[in-house]
Amino acid sequence: MNSIKQLHHALKINRTLIKYGLDEFLAPTPLAKFRPIAKLFSLSFTRKAKNKSRGERLCLALTELGPIYIKLGQMLSTRRDLIPADIADELAKLQDQVEPFSGEIAKQVIEQQLEDTIENLFSDFSEQPLASASIAQVHEATLLENNHSVVVKVLRPGIGKKIQKDLDMMHSLADWAEKYSSEARRFRIKEVVRDYDSTIAREIDLRIEAANTSHLRHNFSQPQDAELLYVPEIFWDYTRNKVLVIEKITGIPIGNIQQLKEAGVNMKALADRGVEIFFTQVFRDSFFHADMHPGNIFVNINNPEKPQYIAIDCGIMGTLEESDKRYLADNFLAFFDRDYRRIAELHVESGWIDSDVSIPEFESAIRAACEPIFGKKIAEISFGHFLIQLFQTARRFNMQVQPQLVLLQKTLLYIEGLGRQLYPQLDLWETAQPYLKHWMYEQIGPKAVFEDIKEQLPNWLQKAPKIPSLIYDNMQRVGEMSNSFNQLKSQLSQLEVHKLQQQYAQKHAIIGSGLVILSGVLYIGMTQNWWPAAIAGIGAAYFLIKSLWSTKH
């Protein structure tokens, strides 16, 4: 990214934030030095929304900056461990509604991707989009092949390049901010942008969304599960990376509470079922819809007493490892028992916090964060806010961000908030506690052990006939290794003896040589005497005799 483009982008952000009275966000960053210039460009603008909160003004600024920044704001709303609650609450309200692109362009994209004409693919195709967002828009259609009513999702032309351009700039500005601003480092701006980058990358390949949808549909394919949640069918023959064709669903948007009540829907059952669906996805399947805002959820009211959820838009899904699920369940259960020491130990055991952290100190911090929650009525306690408190406390002890848990926290806040809109008396703790205890029993109880043995038994039986020969082969190998070891030991012993012999011979050779040299020196000094020659002869004889002796031995 060249410096001119970077400067232009910095000025654009600067000008927009100043326009909405958000100078405070510039102060701790390198962008602050551009404020005087940006104000010159902003003189023609009037200050908007003077009486609005900073969170509301930030939403307006992000909306003006464009679709990618709107999505960034939506993502930031999930990072309550990093940003103030008042800002997170407002960012969560951002609506991703943008001007649609023309139906003719949508048809061109579809024909290019599917390599056929619209007339050969659909008996009916609506050029007027049903809905439009920053990355894609959707059109109603009817498949010519089987007369199925479908929805066709089409990526915006050139969106990939635009997103990459904006992301490159975001990375550049994040690097810049953390280099010069301690406040930016504290909020881990680079980490936030990296998370956003990976999230947005999954949304611009519609095949990923299609695969996620099919997987979620499979998980809820059994009759008892399908009663809870219906996931529309993907038509794979008509799906590519820029086009997705999915079954058209009918239902009442879950945010339309008045219409649901008028239809006679049992609101308590609807709220309870939403909680059950969430925990089933998380703890049974380890695969959960991580974008369950009201715009992606509908309700089938054919049976008002047993309302069925319908989920769409599976572009963002969360997954959990077994260790993550155990960590969450153990933490929740420890919280039910107000066992803060166990919560502290779990963080260390998971490896997310260094083992040299003081457990008593960490326990005390968790107690200070969580104990006030118990001063409220049980129905007022927020599951999601408990997680936020926990993560914020852990962050003070240098806990690394776990992306899968951030997605979980976001989803839990959606579910909990939605559930209480549907049924204000919803007690998520009461609904969740039996489920978690049952899940823990299923994981570590006698039934779990029996199921594990039953699952492994066919594999064991298949290998059983081979066990005697495997034992015999391994015993032979052990014997061969033992013989090899004994041979090596013997060779090493011989080598050691030979080495000692050489050292002994060298010692006497040195002595003999020394005597020869000494006798030579004496002979030079006393050439008239006979005894130096005698000493030299003795030395030479000694040297020869010992050398011959060592050679023989």
Q: How far is CA 444 from the centre of its chain?
A: 26
Name the β-bridge partners of 366: none
Q: Residue 291 catalytic?
A: yes
Structure tokens belonging to residue 78: 């999930």
The DSSP code sequence of 81-111 is TTS-HHHHHHHTT-----PPPPHHHHHHHHH
Contact (Cβ atoms closer than 8 angstroms) between residue 543 and residue 508:
yes
Rounded to a whole number, what is the largest CA-CA distance in the chain? 138
CA distance 107 to 507: 97
Name the β-bridge partners of 230: 310
CB atoms within 10 A of CB 421: 15
CB atoms within 10 A of CB 344: 26
Q: Which residues contact 468 (CB under 8 A, 6 or more apart)?
A: none
Strands (E), 96-182: 122-125, 131-132, 136-143, 149-155
Three-state DSSP state, 512? helix
Catalytic residue (choose from 195, 272, 291, 313) = 291
2 to 27, 38, 138, 251, 256: CA distances (angstroms): 24, 20, 36, 50, 48
Q: Strand 131-132 to strand 287-289: parallel, antiparallel, or no bridges (unpaired)?
A: unpaired
Per DSSP, helices labelled H in 204-299 are: 206-219, 223-226, 257-262, 267-279
CB atoms within 10 A of CB 153: 26
Q: Which residues of 196-230 are buried (b: 16+ CB within 10 A; e: fewer)?
A: beebbeebbbbebbbbbbbebbebbeeeeeebbbb
Cα atoms found within 13 Å of the Cα of residue 540, Cβ hemisphere only: 9
By CB atoms closer than 10 A (0-12, 13-18, 19+), residue 420 is middle
CA distance 74 to 336: 31
Three-state DSSP state, 529? coil
Q: Strand 287-289 to strand 243-247: parallel, antiparallel, or no bridges (unpaired)?
A: unpaired
Contact (Cβ atoms closer than 8 angstroms) between residue 291 and residue 315:
yes
Q: How far is CA 188 from the centre of its chain?
A: 16
Q: Which residues contact 87 (CB under 8 A, 6 or more apart)?
A: 54, 55, 58, 76
CA distance 264 to 186: 50
The DSSP code sequence of 380-433 is G--HHHHHHHHHHHHHHTTPPP-HHHHHHHHHHHHHHHHHHHH-TT--HHHHHH
Residues designated as active site? 291
